[in-house]
Structure 1
Amino acid sequence: MALTARAHAFEPFRISEIRAEGLQRLEIGTVLTYLPLSNGDTLNDATSQQAIRSLYASGLFQDVQLERDGNALVVKLQERPAITNFKLEGNEKIGGDELKKSLKDLGLADGELFRRDLLDQVEQELRRQYYANGYYAVGIDSKVTPEPNNRVSINIKVTEGSVTKITDINIIGNHVFPTDELLKQFDLKTTNWMPFQKSDRYSKQSLSGDLEKLQSYYQDRGYLKFSVDSVQVALTPDKKSIYITINVSEGDVYKVKDRHFSGDTILNDRYLEILTSTKAGDIFSRKEATDSSDRIEAALSDIGYAFAKVTPVPEVDEEHKEVSLNYVVDPGKRAYVRHIGFTGNSGTNDETLRREMRQLEAAPFSKSAVERSRVRLTRLPFIESAEVDTKPVPGTDDLVDVNFKIKERPPGSVQFGVGYSGSQGFLITGQVTHTNFLGTGNRIDLQAENNVYSRSINLSWTDPYFTEDGISQTISMFYRKSQGVIRYSSGFNTNTIGANLTYGIPLSEFIALRAGIGVEDTSVETFPSNSSDEILKYVIDNGTQFFSWQARTGISYDSRNRTFFATRGALHALTADIALPGGDLEYYNISYRAQQYVPLFWKFTAEINGSVGYVNSYGNNDVPPWENYFAGGPQTVRGYKDGYLGPRDHPTNLFNNPYGGKLRTTAQTNVIIPLPIASDGKSTRLEAFWDVGNVFAEPNDFAINELRQSAGVAFSWFTPFLGLLDLSYAVPLNAKPGDSQNRFQISFGSGF
């Protein structure tokens, strides 16, 4: 009798022999491997069905039959054909190498066994992907050609056709808001004149998202019972155009009657009311209700309730068209942090990262503390990025683990090279820097520089955690020999040697105090033939050798998310340095710097940098000329020659070089432009800018109409070899006769 997949009842028998028929490429041993029967077993209804299922499940056969010959079991098989050649052509818009790899992983490749059901699935998936990208006229033709020796060749030919575009989107039933206003909320658009438009390609997912936005638009404006009644999507016979019709019911406007809280609120009602922005008499807004719930959840998460859920439930009074908002609070159990872990920190000690934590182990979980810990990690100079993952501990309902995934950047470099700066010209530099010495987070920096205008050597050591409380210590020593104070000599040379000891004292999470002391010894060399009258007079009155020691103080507020290429937060820094009595110089220097990042539309960001600096003497001698302020160039007002704005040498002097002044005011307003190329925003930046500023000999000389302005574009890039590369092109907007302009400015080699 025959026992197939459609087996019927038969007399059970004990198997004395197993034979296989129909094999072409496979051996009998392969069949026996998948067959759950052997000599001596009994074949009955149950074991025959099990055997057939096992052989089909192997994927090697497309037909299986069982027959009995006496007490011998005969397995008749039809092997699946092997694919001798697989070809996919015509798919220019979808797939590529990634699709070919996926098909090979599925089993559609040369040498694999052919399965018709798999080919059908691939056709359906290809069609789905084309539909999702707007190609509704796509044709997919699969051809399976038999070859000798139970083999087949497969050819899938795709005819993509043209993109099906949205010709019209019509909303019916709207009376309060015009259709044009509602369609502004949609990502899908009708075809327009814009080149490379993709928003006119229909997809079901995009339409669903737009309908959700439409509902939110109405419900955020009081239309609580707004509904989308039906949606019709019509495709023209030629499959080139799509028409979308949306039928809506607007309903009435509802106002907030009151708000109250239920459940285990944990927080007191007065604080909860502060967190909610839905007040009695206001027009109901789903967004305001949701935002209020999010704020309550965030407040609960900050005191340990990591899995708190707050649901705003509208209790509707249909007669008066009012809504009582009931915020149902389910805090869950208070969660504690069991363990904080780090991965990816191969070159950084665990302790170096752990001291940045504001979330502590064994303490209640705090969402804001975890996020602040992540930001503090990203602000470390040797950390490129940090991601955080919070996971419940299996088997518990009140413990979580917090894991930080660290991506390090090279912490140190030994470099020798050539650079260029607008204020110093071409320069030769050598530098040994390590921002994470031995994984401790300590920074060492040895830098030497030589160019036609100056030579210098600087050595510094910074311990960011000199004390366990986070007080930092920086020790530095330096030597500088320069011609004047800018690249274009002011007619005198200076030789300075000195040392500084500075401490940074954190007063809060964002505020730090700066305190330190420094000593300097400076000698001045003048040249009667080309030194300015001002410097000659200063040397005659005060000599050529000057020793001073300074007290350095300051306070700063820094909430930026990154030290370089920040995108949010602010920096405010006030510093006051004074040359103390007892030295040869008696002057003070006060400066204030403000930096603010403001998100704009789309992904644009405004960056506002402002600074004011004032230097003056408090003794008998004047401010030393090398301590004057200068302006012009990339750091102050772009488009003007570096250091050339402000007062010049005495008019009778032949050279009329910049001499600087006691007061400097500058402001740079930058609009950070999102780049179309792939970029994480941490290594490149493009911006349009407007700069304004100048230097004045005395504060009383300040005049608004003397502030120079410029506008242009700038590009910054952390290059692998040249360090920070800055390019800018600026157009001076109100240059006056005698101003030295330099529209294109470049600097590199200074960012190592």
Structure 2
Amino acid sequence: MNMQLSQFRRTTLAQTAAFIAGTLMAFNALAADPFNVRDIRVEGLQRVEPGTVFASIPFRVGDDYTDEKGAAAIRSLFALGLFKDVRIEVNGDVLVLIVEERPNIAQVEFIGTKEFDKDVLRKALRDIGLAEGRPFDKALADRAEQELKRQYVNRSLYGAEIITTITPSDRNRVNLSFTVVEGDLAKIKEMRVVGAKAFDESKLLDQFDQGTGNWLSWYTKSDRYSRTKLNADLETLRAWYLARGYLEFRIDSTQVAISPNKQDISITINVTEGDRFVVSEVAMEGYYLGKDDEFKSLVEIKAGQAYNADDVAKTTKAFNEYFGNFGFAFARTDVRPEIDRATNRVKLVLVADPARRAYVRRINIVGNNRTRDQIVRREFRQTESSWYDGEKIRLSRDRVNRLGYFKDVEIDTQEVPSSQDQVDLNVNVVEKPTGMLTLGAGFSSAEKVTFSFGIQQDNVFGSGHNLGLQVSTSKYNQYYVINTTDPYFTEDGVSRTFEFYHRASKPYVEQGGNYSMVTSGLGVRFGLPFSELDRVFIGTSAERTELVKGTNMLGVHEDLCAHFGCVAQNVPITAGWARDSRDSYLNPNSGKFIRLNSELGAIGDARYTKLGGQYQQYLPITKQYTFAFNADLGLGKGLNGQTLPFYKNYYSGGLGSVRGFEQGTLGPRDVTGPKIGGAKKITINTEFLMPFPGAGNDRTLRLYGFYDMGNVYGELERFDLSQLRSAYGVGLSWVSPMGPLRFAWARPVRTFPGDRIQQLQFQIGTSF
């Protein structure tokens, strides 16, 4: 407050001084009798155009000059903010305007700034009018100094000191230098809730995002004071009490004190809990479109239980949304509490007013600077010039959100002026980067360090198309995949994907040999939407698998050469179905993902079929804890008397299957010893996700414990559960700026001779 008063006084004094100077100069110009102006000259201009001066004065050549016009001219020129001195001299019937320009700012420099990027500070000063190339004003420099202090206060650096140095330069310019001594951070050392009786103070403080800090505060910055965060915490506390029956809870006051050395902050919150109320009855009043029973089924409030503001909010929201399904965009549902303080019971009366029915005039999309309007509009199920339908609008919002192109999607309903039954829908989107970088690494005794790399760019050039590149390289195995998807190949939402892949593998060191296996393919796949959550896929590809002969070839390789001459060509046909109801792609907390897929090799050298299925579910236990389950099954079989080609085998082990084992090393061995995958696969994963200690409710950073089981089997083997490999461990999940990052440390539980163990693994861009 004192800083604001000081700034106000300096600004007022500067304005007063300028006004007095202008008045005195105007007084000097009042000595001339009125006359007709023959000519007007301007002296002292350096950078300001003469036209700017002539446009600001109230007279022209040929006009009569008076003292009042002279005073008005001086005031107008001072008001431009370009001059620090203005005089008018009369030479016969010629007026001479003598001006002294304010210096321009040549350079703005910051010294000693560590907390802020200099571009952030330059933008903050530019917003108040101070920037390179603009006229300099000492009052503006003082204001800039105060703005810089405000920026540091917002970062809890209350002891920051700023020294402004003004250095004259050539051509009537100045250089500004702000030297900053940032000092130490001010941290919350004490936080109290006074007046609470029903709950322990520690329980209440656990609801806050701010606090005295812990060992992870360097990341969460929870011990830095912020008025905005404190207000949010107070609302959280109020909602917490209201959800537990304390209908009359209030926050009386909040005191924030800072120590003399400006390092320690103490916060005291004074509250009055009031009594705890129980709901005695829930009644309904108003007009419910003759659908009273349907509305009653939406009531979340339960008589006989403590008043819960969350249940009340859910009920009113459900009522308003249900009204919206019938076109009543302006429906309101108010709650009237009738309190009986003698018994601490409350009767809640739901008063509904559907207002009037409306239809949508226009759908306006705002914030899509990169994404084309069409990409958003084609996801809408609510159309223009049709009746307002709340269910279709919510579905449209969810579909736009699931595109993954935006951080936030909000739809506001706005009344159309001078119309009683029209509304506009304003779709406000906040775009986010749609590229994902995928990195992976592992270490094994055979391949040493292995790396994988990928780039997935969704919404290329704002077109809604997807483009991806995946590369995995090691000493013995490499693969390259390029794919592109048009999600709206047809207007009905049929997607089309082209994919090119190339894989090459060589034998491990202990195997010896110098042969290699190379597989290349080009395919196309179409996705057909059957509902808002379901999609069917069909596709085909042309594949070529070649064995480059060498020493110590495996038995399966010898078989390939014997049947197809070391080269096999196939045209497999794929079909599948997927249903995705997860609430988030990167960090799901609830919902399911179900996938069924099949592949038929009926054309080409090898004849075979493959069937697979995956079931994934996320169960929220609380707001912070989630249980996740994943099951992945696969079955392959050769046709026409053939066996399943070994290059179509399933593999298991590593991230995405059974953690704790090297990637793709589980399953049958060749007659010469190495693992070659199998025709049958089973994988079961379970995870328990929890907040990272000290991170509060931040779901982007979580710990998880897991237990994995799985294996692959040969075509003639049966599923033998006693042969399942298993491991348990812990991991870290972090939605980082580079993408979702997962570390896993695993300890195998059931192993067999020859299994390759890899306890520590990590990958960016994977789940399970």
Aligned in 2, Cα 1:296/1:369: closer, same or farther, shift over 3 Å?
Answer: same
Question: In the alignment, what sits opposite 1:474?
Answer: 538
- 1:168 paired to 2:158: no
Deviation at 1:692, TM superposition (A): 1.2
**Structure whose residues are more often helix by fraction:** 2
Instruction: Please point out which of 310, 318, 325 is paired with 2:341.
Output: 318
In structure 1, how many angstroms separate the alpha carbons of the residues matched to 2:111 and 2:601? 78
Q: Secondary structure at the match of 1:271?
A: helix
Offset from partner CA, 1:416-457 (integer Å, 9 cap, x none) = x974489xx524658675546988743334545554564445
Q: Which amino acid aligns with 2:263?
A: K
Q: How many residues align?
A: 683
In structure 2, how many angstroms separate the alpha carbons of the residues matched to 1:438 and 1:249? 61
1:215-614 aligned at under 5 Å gives the runs 215-266=238-289, 268-339=291-362, 356-373=379-396, 375-376=398-399, 387=409, 392=414, 394-395=416-417, 396=419, 398-401=422-425, 408-409=459-460, 411=465, 419-420=472-473, 425-427=476-478, 435=486, 441-447=495-501, 449=503, 451=505, 454-464=517-527, 474-479=538-543, 481=545, 489=554, 491=556, 524=563, 556-560=578-582, 569-574=591-596, 591-598=612-619, 607-613=628-634
Question: In the alignment, what sits opposite 1:638?
Answer: 659
Offset from partner CA, 1:528-563 (integer Å, 9 cap, x none) = xxxxxxxxxxxxxxxxx9x9999x987653324677
- 1:178 paired to 2:200: yes
Contact 2:397 2:411 in 1 (8 A): no
Instruction: Please point out which of 713, 721, 733 is paired with 2:749.
Output: 733
Deviation at 1:293, TM superposition (A): 2.1
Deviates more, 1:470-479 or 1:324-333: 470-479
1:41-120 aligned at under 5 Å gives the runs 41=64, 43=66, 50-51=72-73, 53-62=75-84, 80-83=102-105, 87-94=109-116, 96-104=118-126, 106-109=128-131, 112-120=134-142
Deviation at 1:277, TM superposition (A): 1.7
Aligned in 2, Cα 1:118/1:700: closer, same or farther, shift over 3 Å?
Answer: same
TM-score normalized with structure 2 length: 0.69
Contact 1:571 1:596 in 2 (8 A): yes
Q: Secondary structure at the match of 1:211?
A: helix
Q: Secondary structure at the match of 2:297?
A: helix
TM-score normalized with structure 1 length: 0.70
Q: Secondary structure at the match of 1:275?
A: coil
Question: In the alignment, what sits opposite 1:40?
Answer: 63
Deviation at 1:256, TM superposition (A): 1.6
Q: Which amino acid aligns with 1:444?
A: F
In structure 2, how many angstroms separate the alpha carbons of the residues matched to 1:209 and 1:180? 18
1:644-723 aligned at under 5 Å gives the runs 645=666, 655=673, 660=678, 664-667=682-685, 669=687, 689-695=706-712, 702-703=720-721, 706-711=724-729
In structure 1, how many angstroms separate the alpha carbons of the residues matched to 2:556 and 2:730? 33
Q: Which amino acid aligns with 2:632?
A: S
Deviation at 1:319, TM superposition (A): 3.2
Deviation at 1:340, TM superposition (A): 5.4
Contact 1:570 1:597 in 2 (8 A): yes
Question: In the alignment, what sits opposite 2:6?
Answer: none
Q: Secondary structure at the match of 1:187?
A: coil
**Identical aligned residues as a percent:** 28
Aligned in 2, Cα 1:54/1:446: closer, same or farther, shift over 3 Å?
Answer: same
Deviation at 1:59, TM superposition (A): 1.0
In structure 2, how many angstroms separate the alpha carbons of the residues matched to 1:717 and 1:219? 33
Q: Secondary structure at the match of 2:269?
A: strand
In structure 2, how many angstroms separate the alpha carbons of the residues matched to 1:144 and 1:554? 71
Aligned in 2, Cα 1:376/1:119: closer, same or farther, shift over 3 Å?
Answer: same
Contact 1:634 1:745 in 2 (8 A): yes
Contact 1:4 1:66 in 2 (8 A): no
Aligned in 2, Cα 1:204/1:419: closer, same or farther, shift over 3 Å?
Answer: closer
Q: Secondary structure at the match of 1:54?
A: helix
In structure 1, how many angstroms separate the alpha carbons of the residues matched to 2:728 and 2:660? 6
Offset from partner CA, 1:14-57 (integer Å, 9 cap, x none) = 45348789957578765433112345357476x67754542332
Deviation at 1:632, TM superposition (A): 3.5
Offset from partner CA, 1:143-196 (integer Å, 9 cap, x none) = 667899987665544333322332222332222212222222223312656563
Aligned in 2, Cα 1:49/1:225: closer, same or farther, shift over 3 Å?
Answer: farther
Offset from partner CA, 1:58-92 (integer Å, 9 cap, x none) = 11244668899999988786654555665544443
Structure number, greater radius of gyration: 1
Aligned in 2, Cα 1:629/1:40: closer, same or farther, shift over 3 Å?
Answer: closer
- 1:126 paired to 2:148: yes
Aligned in 2, Cα 1:310/1:613: closer, same or farther, shift over 3 Å?
Answer: same
Aligned in 2, Cα 1:152/1:188: closer, same or farther, shift over 3 Å?
Answer: same
Aligned in 2, Cα 1:28/1:421: closer, same or farther, shift over 3 Å?
Answer: closer
In structure 1, how many angstroms separate the alpha carbons of the residues matched to 2:713 and 2:49? 96
Q: Which amino acid aligns with 1:400?
A: D
Offset from partner CA, 1:652-691 (integer Å, 9 cap, x none) = x7749678476735335485999x9xxxx99x99987542
Deviation at 1:253, TM superposition (A): 1.1
Deviates more, 1:336-345 or 1:198-207: 336-345
Deviation at 1:732, TM superposition (A): 2.2
Q: Which amino acid aligns with 1:198?
A: K
Question: In the alignment, what sits opposite 2:447?
Answer: none
Deviation at 1:488, TM superposition (A): 9.6
In structure 1, how many angstroms separate the alpha carbons of the residues matched to 2:677 and 2:165? 83
Aligned in 2, Cα 1:699/1:716: closer, same or farther, shift over 3 Å?
Answer: farther
Aligned in 2, Cα 1:70/1:324: closer, same or farther, shift over 3 Å?
Answer: farther
Contact 2:677 2:712 in 1 (8 A): no
Aligned in 2, Cα 1:12/1:292: closer, same or farther, shift over 3 Å?
Answer: farther
Q: CA RMSD in A?
A: 5.9
Question: In the alignment, what sits opposite 2:36?
Answer: 16
Contact 1:85 1:152 in 2 (8 A): yes
Offset from partner CA, 1:490-512 (integer Å, 9 cap, x none) = 6466669xxxxxxxxxxxxxxxx
In structure 2, how many angstroms separate the alpha carbons of the residues matched to 1:747 and 1:200? 31
In structure 2, how many angstroms separate the alpha carbons of the residues matched to 1:248 and 1:258? 28
Aligned in 2, Cα 1:718/1:312: closer, same or farther, shift over 3 Å?
Answer: closer
Contact 2:34 2:67 in 1 (8 A): no
Question: In the alignment, what sits opposite 2:509?
Answer: none
Aligned in 2, Cα 1:110/1:140: closer, same or farther, shift over 3 Å?
Answer: same
